[in-house]
Amino acid sequence: MFRVKICGLRSLADAELVNSAGADAVGFNFFRKSRRFVEVDVAQEIIRSLLPGVMRVGVFVDSSIQEILEIANCLRLDWIQLHGLETPEFVARLGRPVIKAFRFNGGAAPIRHYVNTVQEMGGTLASVMIDSASGGEFGGTGQVADWESLSKWEDKNRPRPLILAGGLNPRNVAQAIRLTRPYGVDVASGVELSPGVKSPELVLQFVQNARAALGV
């Protein structure tokens, strides 16, 4: 599983930023209503420019299993990240390692139930991602997740590995890591000049600050 992921790549320039900064994973958003949506052929071109070993994640919101698998096979994705209302049964039917994002409002019980149900159905939940609970938005809102509640989540009940997202940026990522003790972090809007346009300085600062706080 990745430690630092830059999500929402849309150009070859973004690939160069990731290569220079040293992030170990990138995300491609295939939700057409997102401002960070990228066509498959563009994502394929970006992937060719990435350094060896940089992991690839495809982000989907309530897509069909057929569409997800077609894109995953084409791009040789390492993980499928689901941000919609996908059920545990859907995860199990995919038959691929899944990162499931939850819009966290302080309640741990529904997440634990979801994780347990996927396991009972024979699915592969590679990681749980904690994102901010921001209305009807599906990630990339810039809203901070409920770190305080997450920090009180007992270790024995924490899904592992846990990825933190939601409102992270170079200024707050170290504090967020200290409070919530995630395995890794994921950022999109927090390193952008405008939606979908990454800042070289912010990407570099984020990766450096996150890796230092994670101890990697």
Q: Which residues are catalytic?
A: 7, 131
Letter string b/e over residues 135-166, b meaning 16 or more CB atoms within 10 A of that residue's CB: eeebbbbbbebbbeebeebeeeebbebbbbbb
Distance, C-alpha 143 to centroid of its chain: 15
Distances (CA, A) of 19 to 169, 195, 204: 19, 21, 10
The amino acid occupying position 26 is: V
Distance, C-alpha 146 to centroid of its chain: 17
The two three-digit tokens of residue 155, written as one number: 């270790």
Give the end-to-end CA distance of the chain in Å, rounded to a whole number.
13
Cis before residue 52, ω within 30 degrees of 0? no
Q: Could you identify the residue written with the tokens 């809102």?
A: 141
